Amino acid sequence: MFTFFLIMLKSYRRVVVVRKEKNLARNSIKKIFLALILVSFIQVPSLAIDDVWGGSGLMEDAYQSETSSQSSTVFDTTNSGPSTVEQNYYEQQQSEPSAYSENKTPDITDLIDTSTATADKENKIIKDIEFYGLNSIPKDELLSKMKMKAGEPYTKSDLQEDLRAIYSTGYFTEKMKAVPNVNSDGTVTIKIVVQENIPVKDFTIDGNTVIPTSEIIGFLDGMKGKPQNISEINQAIAKIQDLYIQKGYILSRVDSVTDDPDGTINISIKEGVIDKIMIEGNEKTKDYIIARNILTEPGMVYNENLVKEDLVRLYATQAFKDVTREIEPSPDVPDAYDITIKIKEQRTASISVGGGLDTVTGLFGSLGISENNFRGRAERISLTGLAGTGVIMNDNSVKDHMNLQAELSYFKPYFFNADTSLNTRLFFRDFGSYQIPMAIERRFGGEMTVAHKLKKNRHATATFSLGLEDINVKEGDFNKIAMLYRAYNVPLSERAKQLEGGLFLSLSPALLFDTRDSATVTRHGTMASLRFDESFGMNGFNKTNGRLTGMIKQYIPIAKKSSLALTVKGGGAIHGHIPEVMAYRLGGPYTIRGFKMSGVGTGNAFVMGSAEFATPIPFMDRTRIAFLNNLRFTVWMDAGKVFDGTVSNKIYDRPMYAVSAGVGLKVFVPGMGPVSIDYGIPLTNSGRNGAKHGYFTFGVGDLMY
């Protein structure tokens, strides 16, 4: 037994000795291998640390000897798989969450050292620039952003600037390296290692309801397949938010942006939903009257454009001095808002007394009574009367007769819905006719007009009018007319046709378009109208006629306060016979200025154009007086022609066409519209009864038809 133990002990010692000898051999081999590596590094002077710019992470195995261009290296561009360094970068990037904020730019200058090895490379010619780690970004895209080019001298400052430019593209992490190697022919090869961000696979959009996903994705599609680019993503987010703002959704915002490990980017949007709408400040006006004019509702996404339309609609009732809105976050619903409509009511009942001068009515006085918030329902009712001396500064074609007018009107701003209104009026007029020479016109009747603002274009309004009017024309001075008829060999039987009136039922659809920036002092925008009038002769169907009339006026801003207005008008009979009392006319303050009323002619059709330059009067527009601030000096030119003229054109030698130019003053008066005084000079034949050397005209309002 003891002998067996000694044999086992000797065997164990032999095993230990053998193992020690093997360990010594292994240690010796390691020392020899390390010594060889150390010797090889000592023989490569170009691999000093000052030749490498970039962040930490590039190990010694990224260095390449300049003594042989055939050396094995991790920069081997023929290697189809990622290098060890690139794989390490990628694995590290995968383990780090992505945050959509600007990364801190690597401090490249911290690793720059002014050593001899670096100085030896300065100003050597660059042979090539190589990139490693590119997967989806083209090399040419990076080269286009670099200052250094092949064939040009190398400098360390240029390389530093180029690394910043490459990093600023946003496609790469801050783990970036650049190694300039001196080749055997004395040139320099720049080797740049980059690590791309995770490529974008797809986008998901959550929370959008008012803007379709396809429209939002349009800002993002260009990033698919490319590395995540924080700068481009932030730019796309800004564009998405701008899109919402442009459409009026000013409370909308991109709430969060996250990414999945597979490269999918998730965008969450909070659009700004309305929780409650409240009304404050009304005392006389009923709540439901205000509420029905507010088309914005709780549960909708807040839209500033729609809310502004609601405020304008309320203000247009003329029942309020001021209408504003306040927005506050809802205390009950996260990411929702409460809207408060604040009302300041004004005195709505008024009595007005006024007067003025107008070419049509002469020197006149007026009296009116109105209530703009009738029964607290924002409805308007008014009664007005006017008495004038009659047409002034005119030729002898107009009978000297007082101008008497009266009108009772009722306006209902909410007719079935907030976009539809109803206006009704009863009227009476008695005046010396400026359509029929030396005749007296008397008109009375009523009209009802329904106006509807179109949803597809908020600047457009469709109207439909139903009217009944009795037109009575009687002789004013038979002897004078008989003399004129004989002088021009016109049969007196034609006079009966001139005095033709009647009872007419009219149906008039129309379309209005208005984009003017202001009705007070307009500088830009468009105003247009198109109207068809079908008049049925109730006491003689042969008097039934139809006509179409249109107008377009374009305002062009000039300098800071001036404007140029270009106007085109036209109209004509579509069917039937139009009595002369209903004929078109040219001449006077609303058509061709520089001519008397109907001084150019009357007929069944016409066309005209006008150009008017308006500018403030120096120093007057700087006062605190609204009247003077709105006063404008005008320079204008008018031109027009009448077709299918009446017999009046013959007996008064009217030219039927005219061109005139002149100057004037224009000011906007609330409740009346633009008031103007113009002096025009005919540039063409003014006719026997025309004013060859010029003529004043006075106008109140702006006729649309």
The DSSP letter of residue 115 is: -
Q: What is the rounded distance in angstroms from the CA atom of residue 522 to the CA atom of residue 504?
A: 37
Name the token pair of 229: 């680019």
Q: What is the rounded distance in angstroms from the CA atom of residue 226 to the CA atom of residue 222?
A: 8
> Would you say 199 and 263 are in contact if contact means Cβ atoms under 8 Å apart?
yes
Maximal C-alpha separation, the chain: 172
Over the chain (705 residues), the average pLDDT of each successive run of 10 is: 41 43 49 42 35 37 33 32 34 38 47 42 85 86 88 88 85 83 88 86 93 93 85 90 95 92 92 95 90 92 94 87 94 94 90 81 89 90 92 74 94 89 96 90 97 90 97 93 91 90 96 91 94 94 94 95 96 94 92 92 96 90 77 96 94 94 88 84 90 86 52
Helices (DSSP H) in 60-129: which residue ranges?
84-95, 116-121
SS3 at position 619: coil
Q: From 506, 417, 508, 424, select the one nearest 454 (Cα to Cα).
A: 417
Q: What is the rounded distance in angstroms from the CA atom of residue 580 to the CA atom of residue 331?
A: 69
- Residue keyed to tokens 């037109």: 471
Q: pLDDT at position 34, please?
A: 42
**Residues contacting 469, CB < 8 A, separation 6+:** 443, 444, 445, 446, 447, 503, 504, 506
The DSSP letter of residue 122 is: T
Phi, psi of 532 (to 5 degrees): -115, 130
CA 143 to centroid of chain Cα atoms: 40
Which residues sit opposite 345 in a β-bridge? Answer: 320
Q: What are the CA-CA distances from residue 182 to residues 40, 66, 112, 125, 477 (Å)?
A: 17, 6, 18, 10, 114
> Would you say 160 and 53 are in contact if contact means Cβ atoms under 8 Å apart?
yes
The DSSP letter of residue 227 is: B
Q: DSSP states of 556-605 as a string?
A: EEETTTEEEEEEEEEEEEEEEPPPGGG-EEE-STTSSTTS-TT-SEEEEE
Q: What is the rounded distance in angstroms from the CA atom of residue 345 to the CA atom of residue 325?
A: 15
Q: pLDDT at position 210, please?
A: 95
Phi, psi of 119 (to 5 degrees): -60, -30
Whole-prediction pTM? 0.63
Q: What is the rounded distance in angstroms from the CA atom of residue 177 to the CA atom of residue 163?
A: 9
Cβ atoms within 10 A of the Cβ of 164, count?
A: 14
Q: pLDDT at position 57, please?
A: 34
* Sign of the CA dihedral with 575 first, then 576, 581, and 587 last: positive
Name the token pair of 288: 């439901």
